[in-house]
Structure 1
């Protein structure tokens, strides 16, 4: 039997241990920092444009909010972030969808216009390499949700000319192109007839097909139609989040490997951690119960999330959780098919400990080094794999 004082000591020790674990600090070695600085680092999904649409900030300077700005990007070695031209699913089938896409591209051009000594628009893999040598941060662009295409190949060409180099076919709802993994209505049972034609035209233009967010059927159809490798611009793995269709299962990953594509791992805790996913599902279910009982506009519904999270903080993932996803892809299909699609500025406060903003990529690189990845392998993860897929798309387009 423990005496009361002994029990108190044990409890205190456990609490101290738990607190220390929760507050774990990450320290990247000089080698990890040098690798991120000396290597092209491509992150295929950063939601800066939509963030600026909500509230304009000059990201060429340090900002008090958000996950991205120039000083933090330089600190983290990020030199080629794909700016996400994110269009909410609620705007599908409206002219506002296309107008918003153009507006968000205007914001990216404004970032460059304000600081041409810091940023440059990148429309090709060669642009990224050239701008890296010049010490500039490249800003390629990807469209998250194909809604702005509005069934028009002329619109597709318009957005290509404006710099869009990948299109996420759908987002949180089924649209005129594809079914969404989040939408129980599977109106197309995969891709729509137009969606199938769109992939052919995207191949011809050199716009990468992004299968993040789409249903499983849409994924397999897209891979079957595309003549070039596809990407998952910001997805993680279902093996770690059972039942979460937004992530990719092992069979899909293998199909992606045969296609030559690459999965860019999303950092969001609810994407990489089963515990965080369960926490999020519980939060959503409880919120829904209150909204159904009290109404969405009720004071109780509006204050629910803050009260809930104050009492039940999110169980954040860690750098190791993200690394587990990278390891899993490598074991399944090899080192040539995995990269980074963090979803910074797109997943709110759910980012893992040690990966809270764009200054923290060296922590991920340190983890890769600790797990035995070679410098060559790390370079592939940071940019080599995505550049290979991008160049394959460019080469096909040049012939067609």
Structure 2
């Protein structure tokens, strides 16, 4: 990895600002113009490992394979839809997106959760097999570091929803061997492991007895425990059970979204920090802005009514022009500043060592904020953090060092047990 301090000093000096060889304080960045600061942000993004805790590419590939009848989505080239592909990842400096092996909660009732997980894992591995010069699998921070030095994008695996365990503790070892390195314990419904933040039945009042065994076995195997999607009671049970730090792979601060249990409240964030864990901030509009859903619903309602009144289909040229103009004039989307607000808030509660990035790209649809619409735009967030006085060291912690620290602790515990 190149010396960011030396690089930033060089660039600041090139813009005629005073900078001694060791000057890397935040005042230098705040004194830059917006254009200069963005150029620095791009350099930081491209010279620092960026890990994203949650990208829903595998399920997107599954959907597009079914609708477009193609064996594998060509993410080695720029894609027309979606939020992730190789060219845009390189533009944004994304090096290690955790590929979400997403299992819809309905499979807890219909069956087939393990089979679907296997399919999505193999589909993800096929990316690295098909384009080995661009992508590589990664099963540890060392793998990511190695791939980064070779200029390749790593594809670590995280499973969203523990339903594929299917009540058999031995399946945890099976999925570890398949490459899964974190498991989000629940998703949209309570499951055999514990209660979900989106459900209201709370059948276990936290972790089930089986869920306690699952967390302990994940610790033993070296699989990170992910508490995104769990209920508050489940979270606190996990805190009591886990012997190592845990992560929230794609959650934000409930402070900005009162009543939205899917995000973490202040006490939970503090507890996560005391545990040594990391909350990886979700970029989705409803996660970062309480008013987004209401504003977005009003815009969509107007567009539906306008289309009906004027006899247009949404993809008619006249309709597309009108929709683009109307959305621009009545923009419901939050901005990149909102994501930075969540980072600020977590830092004030738990400290800089407990923040990461968990965008939920390809998972939150058309709700992403202005300035963070796809994986090419991480420099916009870095520029905003520089503007707010974050140091290079702070940004490196957010981008990869914090999640590497947790992951390595999980590995160390597993190796010792």
Shorter-chain TM-score range = 0.7 to 0.9
TM-score normalised per structure 1: 0.85
CA distance in 2 between counterparts of 1:391 and 1:361 reads: 25
Compute the displacement of 1:125 (Å): 1.1
Compute the displacement of 1:278 (Å): 4.0
Would you say 1:386 and 2:403 are equivalent positions? yes
CA distance in 2 between counterparts of 1:282 and 1:212 reads: 29
Post-superposition CA distance 1:44-95 (Å, at most 9, x none)? 1000000000013211111111000000000000000000000000111554
Partner of residue 339, structure 1 = 356
CA distance in 2 between counterparts of 1:398 and 1:77 reads: 32
Of residues 119-128 and 93-102 in structure 1, the stretch that sits farther from structure 2 once superposed is 93-102
Partner of residue 123, structure 2 = 107
Pair 1:85–1:379, CA change in 2 (3 A): same
Post-superposition CA distance 1:363-387 (Å, at most 9, x none)? 0000010000000000000011000
Partner of residue 377, structure 2 = 360
Q: Name the SS for the 1:348 alignment partner.
A: coil
CA distance in 2 between counterparts of 1:27 and 1:238 reads: 34
CA distance in 2 between counterparts of 1:255 and 1:380 reads: 19
Partner of residue 34, structure 1 = 43
Pair 1:93–1:193, CA change in 2 (3 A): farther
CA distance in 2 between counterparts of 1:195 and 1:315 reads: 39
1:37-52 equivalence runs, <5 A:
37-52=46-61
Compute the displacement of 1:256 (Å): 0.3
Partner of residue 15, structure 1 = none
1:72-83 equivalence runs, <5 A:
72-83=88-99
Q: Do the aligned residues in 1 keep the contact of 2:299 with 2:332 (CA within 8 Å)?
A: no
TM-score normalised per structure 2: 0.82
Partner of residue 213, structure 2 = 197
Q: Name the SS for the 1:203 alignment partner.
A: helix
Q: Do the aligned residues in 2 keep the contact of 1:87 with 1:147 (CA within 8 Å)?
A: yes
CA distance in 2 between counterparts of 1:219 and 1:69 reads: 33
CA distance in 1 between counterparts of 2:36 and 2:285 reads: 20
CA distance in 2 between counterparts of 1:96 and 1:151 reads: 13
Post-superposition CA distance 1:259-303 (Å, at most 9, x none)? 00000000001100011144468899x9xxxxxxxxxxxx9xxxx
Give the gaps of 5 or more residues in structure 2: 1-33, 66-72, 302-307, 309-313
Partner of residue 157, structure 1 = 173
Q: Name the SS for the 1:29 alignment partner.
A: helix
Q: Do the aligned residues in 2 keep the contact of 1:68 with 1:357 (CA within 8 Å)?
A: yes
CA distance in 2 between counterparts of 1:147 and 1:92 reads: 6
Name which of 232, 245, 248 aligns with 1:216.
232
Compute the displacement of 1:223 (Å): 1.0
Q: Do the aligned residues in 2 keep the contact of 1:28 with 1:363 (CA within 8 Å)?
A: no
Of residues 86-95 and 322-331 in structure 1, the stretch that sits farther from structure 2 once superposed is 86-95
Partner of residue 144, structure 2 = 128
CA distance in 2 between counterparts of 1:61 and 1:283 reads: 33
Compute the displacement of 1:29 (Å): 2.0
Partner of residue 29, structure 2 = none
Q: Name the SS for the 1:352 alignment partner.
A: coil
Q: Name the SS for the 1:89 alignment partner.
A: coil
1:1-400 equivalence runs, <5 A:
29-56=38-65, 57-279=73-295, 315-400=332-417
Aligned residues: 358
Q: Do the aligned residues in 2 keep the contact of 1:276 with 1:314 (CA within 8 Å)?
A: no
Partner of residue 295, structure 1 = none
Give the gaps of 5 or more residues in structure 1: 1-24, 287-298, 300-304
CA distance in 1 between counterparts of 2:253 and 2:293 reads: 12
CA distance in 2 between counterparts of 1:50 and 1:157 reads: 23
Partner of residue 311, structure 2 = none
